[in-house]
Amino acid sequence: DAGVIQSPRHEVTEMGQEVTLRCKPISGHDYLFWYRQTMMRGLELLIYFNNNVPIDDSGMPEDRFSAKMPNASFSTLKIQPSEPRDSAVYFCASSRTGGEGETQYFGPGTRLLVL
């Protein structure tokens, strides 16, 4: 398997623009997680899905953030409008219920810079 795939790997945008981050989880995994990593706050869980259904979005910082999972092989995280404080590395991770102690597999991340 190719692992968790994220795109784009790098994104530079201007304040106010819409940003869409994409994730393809590992085939057969039923959980998908979106994280944000910054030096100040470390690794934060934003939202997670089970079988394509959002279960907990309490980590989403505000209404500017939204996430969807239209099918088992694709998810998006959208920021609209973007702000400089959204600059961070965004990770997608997936796992399988009961599999391997439920190890999480992380993608390489999207490095977002909002100017």
Partner 1 sequence: GDSVTQMEGPVTLSEEAFLTINCTYTATGYPSLFWYVQYPGEGLQLLLKATKADDKGSNKGFEATYRKETTSFHLEKGSVQVSDSAVYFCALKGGSYIPTFGRGTSLIVHP
β-strand partners of 66: 78
Interface with partner 1, residue 55, by CB under 8 A: yes
- Shortest Å distance, C-beta 81 to partner 1: 27
Nearest to 94 by CA among 42, 27, 8: 27
Stretch that binds partner 1, among 14-22, 60-68, 71-79, 97-105 (CB under 8 A): 97-105
* Residues 6 or more apart in contact with residue 41 via CB below 8 angstroms: none
103 is a contact residue toward partner 1 (CB under 8 A)? yes
Identify the residue among 34, 107, 112, 114 touching partner 1 (CB under 8 A).
107
The reply on whether position 34 binds partner 1 by CB under 8 A is no
Give the whole-angstrom CA distance, residue 20 versus residue 86. 13
How many angstroms separate the CA atoms of 67 and 52, rounded? 11
Q: Does 1 bind partner 1 (CB under 8 A)?
A: no
Asked if 77 touches partner 1 (CB under 8 A), the answer is: no
| Residue placing its CB nearer to partner 1 in the complex, 45 or 81 | 45
| CA-based nearest residue to 83, from 1, 16, 12 | 16
Q: Which of 68, 65, 46 is nearest to 57 (CA)?
A: 46
Check residue 98 for interaction with partner 1 (CB under 8 A).
Answer: no
- List residues binding partner 1 (CB under 8 A): 4, 31, 42-43, 45, 48, 50, 55-56, 91, 93, 100-109
